[in-house]
Amino acid sequence: MSQANLSETLFKPRFKHPETSTLVRRFSAGKPQAMQSALSGNHVDHWYRLINRLMWIWRGVTPQEILDVQARIVMSEAERTDPELFDTVIGYRGGNWIFEWAKEAMQWQQKAGRKPILC
């Protein structure tokens, strides 16, 4: 009986990685927090993650970019862990929270790489 190469087994591409919402349960949105900060983000209906536009804008992401990424997530027809939550697309693919934000970051990295160094 032939034995499978361990590297092939361990590093075989997988497309249905566990989505964050299946690993970490969100605390009850109905519970008031001890202290609320404008930079803490908000629980928005139909989103598993905190939506923190103010912090993202402060860090340099434009409001248009935020809406573009969120639109790609919302419009995805890929399978979701919870069909009621937009940001629970299963697997690293279009519509997945990490995939879409990493794609946005990659575009900025490519733009930065094309700029001349000024020093």
- Domain with 29, as residue range(s), is 16-112
- 5: in domain: no
Per-residue H/E/C for 18-83? CCHHHHCCCCCCCCCCCCCCCCCCECCCCCCCCECHHHHHHCCCCHHHHHHHHHHHHHCCCCECCC
pTM for the whole thing?
0.71
pLDDT score of 39: 60
- 8: in domain: no
- 74: in domain: yes
- 10: in domain: no
- 6: in domain: no
| pLDDT tens digits, one per residue of 52-102 | 999 999 999 999 999 999 999 999 999 999 999 999 999 999 999 999 999
Number of domains in the chain: 1
